[in-house]
Structure 1
Amino acid sequence: MRLAAALALLASLAGRAGAVDLVLPAGAERTHAATVPLATHRVAVAPFDGETVPRRAVEGVVTRQVWRAPLPPGGTPLMVVAPLREALAADGWRVALDCEARACGGFDFRFAVDVTPAPAMFVDLNAFRYLSAVKDDAWLTVLASVSAGVAYVQATHVGPPDEDAVAAAPTGRAAAPAGAPAVAADLAARGRAILSDLTFAPGGTALTTRDYASLAMVAAFLRDDPDATVALVGHTDAEGGTEGNLAISRRRAEAVRDRLIAEHGVDPARVEARGVAYFAPLASNADAAGRALNRRVEVVVTSVGATGASPLAPDPGTPPPDSR
């Protein structure tokens, strides 16, 4: 597959393992790209052992890209990863971990590793593969998943810290003012945040009529960066059917968008609303606490200006108080 061959070149993403160009296959679409001069990436080095996923926290220049591409009938995550694994070995990389969904640890493994939020990245808990590899002082992780004939591939490269880039990195929005809601710091540092203070009418999709500090902070973020755009992403728990949950999650995101536009003067062209139902859970849906955590609306930065932040590491945040 040309996609897998192209991914074999990802070791050069941070400009430290050779100057080569990525050649993506026809039909491939990049859904996310971000580089942070100094950040931490959690690299899994062994499968879930029954209690935890052994990980190594690697610091440096973190570059992440995500692609979505069509697959031939019967395509599997291994079809994406196998050629990449061979290319890395030929280039002197040592594979630290290579496992598929169940062997990795399934749900417990998936939520122990860093994954770009939906809709940019999608992980089918029954059809994914994870690869981590190291060469000298650089690390590379690849997470590939397949769903309905489409491959989703996330590749994260960590190279040595770039002292010049760190010194030149903008800091104007990295620190939220004292007393600011957590959403401000999350947007500045990670490019995404859970709007945990939102409440909806019981069993409905309309926002209750009160002021929300999180929405004021989203509006302020957009005012501070005239080039920024965001997506509001609604999530549900796993109770009920797919179509119903997709509709509920979308309508809740739309309700938040409407409030931002009507009460905070946000330009409609700068905010979109999407619903992903129960396809991006933060916790198990087996108990009430996990279901409450999964019911949420998130804001995801989709583009920023020259001084904007880039999303890299997801943060579960705090569960919203509404009930589905």
Structure 2
Amino acid sequence: MRRLTITTLALALLAAPVAVEAQQRQQPAAQRAPAQAAQGQDHPLVGRYEGSQQRFRQVRDYEETRFPTAAVRNRQGGQPRLDAGNSVAVAGKLTRLVYTGPADRSPLEVVRNLQERLERLGFGVVFTCRMAECGGSGSDLWFAVVNEPPIKQTIMPSNWEGGVYALLRWERAEGDVWVSLYGVPNAPGGGPATLVDVLETKGMERDKVVVVSADEMARAIAASGKVALYGILFDTDRADPRPDSRPAIEEIAKYLRANPQVAVIVVGHTDSQGGFDYNVDLSRRRAAAVVAILTREFGIPAARLTAFGAGMAAPVASNDTAEGKAQNRRVEIVKR
């Protein structure tokens, strides 16, 4: 096997990964990795395989995605899906990189070199597979891994029959790090294409949502017939509102009590991540859960409330950015 090329920073990380990583982040990028500066910075924990070329790099400070933890075999609407049964949902800083080459190397050799490098740093292997072991002929995992994360790119060739995948996790007190490695053959120019996703978990900034008051709801509904609420929060793939959604639901109840003649539609909305039919059903169940709380705990007559799920069909912003997705994940109160 050809050895894995790693920068001076990566060598230092072998001895003291946490402390050195923090120290190096304070240095200019040119000092950390001058050899790769023209192509884009490698992730310091992963490095790159000797002779490979970086073709894509994008970083988002906070994102949520799923990584496969088992073979991907289930389909919905003709497309493979990642869900709680075959993957793990994680959120934090996401770095997505794509490398191609070298021309005389296999995807297996490149991915295994990167995997061994990470294991030496303290990462543990969560899941690994090759070709049909990954689901179907390997195509199901290809679609899930390449298309599921919120950062899109078009460089990875669809040559899944020779694909190899590995998911690793490093458990740290300051936040876990997940690394997803996926290699396929026959990249442009020859050799493998390697997709590297690094997610450094961290807590999302809290207390950023302002609860819309009953009076503000009344003004918005009078002006436009609806109001968008961002204070009703849900965990990933769950329909029941989180406990911190209570203040927003209380304001809906106040508005309805102050306007007893009004009937409303409670509409659930999602971003574009996941299957269309799945998101429509999830948004409907979320809207129904809000209706159930309003009737059961606040005494609002069920005849005044209609639950509806719009899924991803009515975005108010682009789903290509984390900020846009956050705007699209909402509950709306629409005057009926």
Class of the TM-score when normalised by the shorter of the 2 chains: 0.3 to 0.5
Larger Rg computed on CA atoms: 2
Q: Which of structures 1 and 2 has the larger relative contact order (alpha carbons within 8 angstroms, sep 6+)?
A: 1
Q: TM-score, normalized by length of structure 1?
A: 0.43
